[in-house]
Structure 1
Amino acid sequence: MSRLKEVFDWRFWIWQPILAFLLPFLIDQIHFLGTNFKIIGLLFILNSAFSVFVGLYLRSHGSFWYLLIVWPLIFALATWLGFNESLYGYFFAILYLVIGIFSYTHGQTEEIDYNDQIPVDGGFKGDR
């Protein structure tokens, strides 16, 4: 049950709709911010950094791996609803999934205690 409570942390669930729906809408309403700022600043830099955060957050809290797809799906939904350009919005959703998977699986082959484990021949025998 505690594992499930960690998944419902506000940092994971609140920032997704803000970055997928609210910020693209606000950038479209502010006329002095151009399309290049939206593509480079928001969609590439900020959302990619958030994808890294999502992968690291889910891994550090021992959350379910299939939650990695939630952020790209919310972004794809925002693209489908017209908050982002469909020309590149779906490609960014795939990019966010790949970045999330990379940050989630980074270093799993080099776990700290994996190589230092001591084999126990004949099984463990405790004091009886």
Structure 2
Amino acid sequence: MKRFNKTFDWRFWILMPIFGILFPYVINLTKLTANFKIIVLLFIVNMIFSVIAGRFLRHTGAFWVLLLVWPIVFLISVWLHINSMFYGYYLALLYLILEVFAFTSGQEEELDIDKQIPVDGGFSEV
């Protein structure tokens, strides 16, 4: 239950709709060029948020299924026609990939490799 409570931190769940739906909507209301909107908002800001979300989920020990939430929130903005369908699906996939990389980074090595018991000859007595 403690793992479940740590995962549902309000900052994580409030920031996703802000970065996925509200921020693109507000940016679309401005007179900025489309290239600036795509590069700054969708590439730089949302990619950084994807990495932060993946690291947050790893830090809290969250279930890996929660990695799908941020791309789904972004897909909701595509379905609401806030972001273009032309590139929205690909960006949602890219955000998922970045989250998975951030979630799994640093897990390549065993931290307790020195404490392991060698089993070359097998266990004779336990």
TM-score, structure 2 length as denominator? Answer: 0.90
Alignment partner, residue 13 of structure 2: 13
Alignment of 1:40-119 (within 5 A): 40-113=39-112, 115-119=113-117
**Once superposed, what is the RMSD of the aligned Cα atoms?**
1.3
Shift in alpha-carbon separation, 1:110–1:22, aligned structure 2, 3 A? same
SS of the residue corresponding to residue 67 of structure 2 reads: helix
CA distance in 1, matches of 2:105, 2:96: 14
Distance in 2 separating the partners of 1:42 and 1:20: 10
Secondary structure of the residue aligned to 1:14 is helix
* One-letter amino acid matched to 2:116: I
Number of residue pairs the alignment of both structures matches: 121
Tell me how far apart the structure 2 counterparts of residues 116 and 94 of structure 1 sit (CA, whole Å). 38
* Alignment gaps of 5+ in structure 1: 124-128
- d(CA) in 2 for partners of 1:37 and 1:112? 43
Distance 1:100 1:57 in 2: 10
Contact kept, 8 Å, 2:21 with 2:76, in 1: the verdict is no
- 2:29 corresponds to: 29
How far apart in 2 are the matches of 1:80 and 1:11? 24
Q: Percent identity?
A: 48
Listed as ranges, the gaps of 5+ residues in structure 2 are none
Q: Residues 111 and 34 (structure 1 numbering): CA distance in 2 closer, same or farther, change over 3 Å?
A: farther
TM-aligned CA deviation for residue 38 of structure 1: 1.3
Moved >2 Å (runs of 4+): 120-123
Query: How many angstroms apart in 1 are the aligned matches of 2:12 and 2:110?
Result: 25
Q: TM-score, normalised by structure 1?
A: 0.88
